[in-house]
Structure 1
Amino acid sequence: MEEFDYQELEAATENFSSTRIIGKGSHGCIYKGVLLKDGKVVAIKKQSLGLQKLGDNSKLDNEIRILLSLPQNPYLISLLGTSHDCANNKVLVMEHMPNGTLHDLLHVAPTPPPWPKRIRVAIQVAKAVQFIHEANPLVIHRDIKSANILFDSNWNARLADFGLAIRLQGQQVDSDLLSPPAGTIGYLDPCYTTPCRLSTKNDVFSFGVVLLEIISSTKAIDVSRTPSSIVDWALQLIEEDRMMEICDERIILPAYLESRIRHMLHIAARCVSSEEDHRPSMGEIVKEMENFFVERVRFPIWINILDTCFQRRRRIVETPQSNTVVTTTTSAVTTGHSEFSKGKMLLREVLAEITLD
């Protein structure tokens, strides 16, 4: 891990100018920086003035410790290095994510994301959480939410902000004292009421909330909605078999994806179950989503399209040559070509958006 010169980071951010802020949180701000030595764009996390005055580096120290304990993974944010000012206040230098957050994509962007892209993001986030849960020692994030899911230059989702994360070795928390429950209202597991209730199922609940958010494009807590909690609102509609009312109404849900989105809503409902034992593990979620969404979406559609085109071509080849048949053949060729073109467009949309690295 590199130790950056603090003056270099000041120059990279124009002395931490407010115009360079690309993210804010309760513990500080994220600045976009351009390193003068090589022109590399980075994200620099600096603590709030209050924490700086207290000399409290605990959140950043914890994030450093957690990220260094985890191997590199394509679905996690990368820590590039650290630095500190003359008062020994730390800053983190992170990989820059140029395409913002999932929160902004769902709630701020003028154009809503298409359904295949939502499925792709959901699977990537699930893989990120699965990875930290299966690490040794395992990591519980404790603050999974759409604002902590960032997009790289290729629109791959990355889980970020490990300031509240905790490592577990068996049942032993990696800390002298058990940390009190923490997280963000709306995403926080209501079962997580005391330190002893800490488990991976807390993250599973938060992931379920994010899943509902991805499908509905509504916020985890929305006072204009009744009920205001996305969990209570969505579970009621799922129980009444009105699941399509949860879907983002700004864009049409393609017929070929309807059953997949219904299945995703059932997964979300299990994740946010009030009974922790009913919640699946992240490994089970990833396996189920990959098997159902990737395989069933990727293959049957293009097989059916190609089969239809091959049948048309076979009929054209087998038709005897005559003036009358030539007209029919021309019509068949035109129809076949049109359908094949539509098929190619559908294939391109599905495979480009859903196929994962």
Structure 2
Amino acid sequence: MEEMEFDYEEVVKATENFNPRRIIGKGSHGMVYKGVLFNDRLQVAVKKPSEGLESLHDNSKLENEIRVLSSLRESPHVVNLLGTSSYNDHKKLIVMELMPNGSLHDLLHGHANKTTWPKRVEIAMQIARAVQFLHEAVVIHRDIKSSNILFDSHWNAKLADFGLAVKGGLSEPGPAPAGTIGYIDPCYTTPDKLSTKNDIFSFGVVLLEIISGRKAIDVCKTPASIVERVKTSDELKEFCDTRMPLPPNYMVGSVTRLLSFAARCVSLNEEERPWAGEVVMGMEMELNCFFRVPAWRLCVLKGVVWFRNRKRRKKPFVSIISVSSGKKKSSMTMTIKDVLADLTFHS
């Protein structure tokens, strides 16, 4: 990603001298502030080291994040680096695109749950593409979790926070194991165990969060670990988020396939874990049955629904869709009512 150098005084002014009211995110190695640059024409997010790290003169995590992001080409699935700003003997701040709609963690575990199953599957696909993009660029993120997945103004999910990321080949042992409890791969116990499979495990935990609405670790639940919970679920409906209706018929295949991939991702047998591209291709094949409805067709669909009600037909259909769930295949009917129910996510 191309980066530019921002004037430090301008960044200070843009964040109101790093006013606490401007804080929009906190991490183990930095604070993120909302700022406005170029005479209020550009909204940005500015990350600076936490006070604790500044007192220790430790800017290594931010420097690593700059180094990794600078090495990547621009991607719609990774938070965009706009540039840096230098201060105090070449220390740097990071200036990034603003992600105004919060994190996936906020969306899933906040008080207001406004997602549908099509939107959750869409989010899962965007994260899978982000992981695929990184691994093809020979980058291991090492801290994939729902709080590091942010939404832009159009509610597209992007992967953020590259402070722990590792760039380059794996011919030599990596750094000491790091990550977040509940997401970190239990097989990642020593530096020589670093691999893309570590990210795949963390990604699998996020998929389980998306499907179940549960936190990765919740001490109020039994079992506390979401990974252990999926092992005790015999049916899809036992694992789905109880705060919302079960997936409609035309989404059952997609959500089931997603859960199947998630279970493979968190397997303790690393050989069983899929690579990110496999998840993307598998879900794209599954989602061939899920299509967009142009706005001009909405009136037509509503008219057909009205005609159905008038004629009192029991179950008209748009099309028969073949879906797959694991090794079994079945046919399901997508009713017009199903399409209209989720139309808002495709306009």
TM-score, scaled relative to structure 1: 0.83
Asked whether the 8 Å contact 1:117–1:354 carries over to 2, the reply is no
Asked whether the 8 Å contact 1:297–1:350 carries over to 2, the reply is no
Asked whether the 8 Å contact 1:119–1:354 carries over to 2, the reply is no
Q: Closer, same or farther in 2 for the Cα pair 1:5/1:251, shift >3 Å? A: same
Measure, in 2, the Cα distance between the counterparts of 1:278 and 1:333.
Answer: 49
Kindly provide the CA deviation profile for residues 126-172 of structure 1, in whole angstroms up to 9, marking residues without a partner as x: 0000011112xx00000000000000111111001111000132x33
Q: Closer, same or farther in 2 for the Cα pair 1:179/1:69, shift >3 Å? A: same
Q: Residue type matched to 2:217 in 1? A: I
Structural RMSD (CA): 2.9
1:297 to partner: Cα distance: 2.6
Asked whether the 8 Å contact 1:112–1:251 carries over to 2, the reply is no
Please show how residues 215-254 of structure 1 align to structure 2 within 5 Å: 215-237=211-233, 241-253=234-246, 254=248
1:185 to 177, 181, 184: 181
Q: Residue type matched to 1:142 in 2? A: R
Measure, in 1, the Cα distance between the counterparts of 2:15 and 2:165.
Answer: 27
Q: Please tell me whether residue 28 in structure 1 is matched to residue 25 in structure 2.
A: no
Moved more, 100-109 or 140-149: 100-109
Please show how residues 248-267 of structure 1 align to structure 2 within 5 Å: 248-253=241-246, 254-267=248-261
Kindly provide the CA deviation profile for residues 324-353 of structure 1, in whole angstroms up to 9, marking residues without a partner as x: xxxxxx977944999799966643555663
Q: Closer, same or farther in 2 for the Cα pair 1:105/1:331, shift >3 Å? A: closer
1:204 to partner: Cα distance: 0.5
Kindly provide the CA deviation profile for residues 86-117 of structure 1, in whole angstroms up to 9, marking residues without a partner as x: 35432100000011100000011413411110
Q: Please tell me whether residue 144 in structure 1 is matched to residue 116 in structure 2.
A: no
2:291 to 272, 294, 298: 298
Structure 1 runs (4+) greater than 2 angstroms displaced: 36-39, 84-89, 296-299, 330-355
User: Corresponding residue for 1:198?
Assistant: 194
Asked whether the 8 Å contact 2:36–2:42 carries over to 1, the reply is yes
Q: Residue type matched to 2:171 in 1? A: Q
Q: Please tell me whether residue 117 in structure 1 is matched to residue 108 in structure 2.
A: no
Asked whether the 8 Å contact 2:116–2:342 carries over to 1, the reply is no
Kindly provide the CA deviation profile for residues 55-86 of structure 1, in whole angstroms up to 9, marking residues without a partner as x: 21211111111111111110010000111223
User: Corresponding residue for 1:172?
Assistant: 171
Asked whether the 8 Å contact 2:308–2:316 carries over to 1, the reply is no
Asked whether the 8 Å contact 1:209–1:272 carries over to 2, the reply is yes
Kindly provide the CA deviation profile for residues 14-71 of structure 1, in whole angstroms up to 9, marking residues without a partner as x: 1111111111111121100011534311000011111112221211111111111111
1:13 to partner: Cα distance: 0.9
Measure, in 1, the Cα distance between the counterparts of 2:278 and 2:335.
Answer: 33
Matched residue count: 321
Q: Residue type matched to 2:288 in 1? A: E
TM-score, scaled relative to structure 2: 0.85
Measure, in 2, the Cα distance between the counterparts of 1:93 and 1:47.
Answer: 13
Asked whether the 8 Å contact 2:174–2:194 carries over to 1, the reply is no
Please show how residues 1-357 of structure 1 align to structure 2 within 5 Å: 1-135=3-137, 138-169=138-169, 171-172=170-171, 178-237=174-233, 241-253=234-246, 254-292=248-286, 294-298=287-291, 334-335=310-311, 346-347=338-339, 350=342, 353=345
- Give the 3-state SS of the residue equivalent to 1:179 in structure 2: coil
- Give the 3-state SS of the residue equivalent to 1:212 in structure 2: helix
Gaps in structure 2 of 5+ consecutive residues: 319-333
Q: Closer, same or farther in 2 for the Cα pair 1:256/1:3, shift >3 Å? A: same
Q: Residue type matched to 2:51 in 1? A: L
1:296 to partner: Cα distance: 2.2
- Give the 3-state SS of the residue equivalent to 1:72 in structure 2: coil
1:250 to partner: Cα distance: 1.0
Q: Closer, same or farther in 2 for the Cα pair 1:73/1:351, shift >3 Å? A: farther
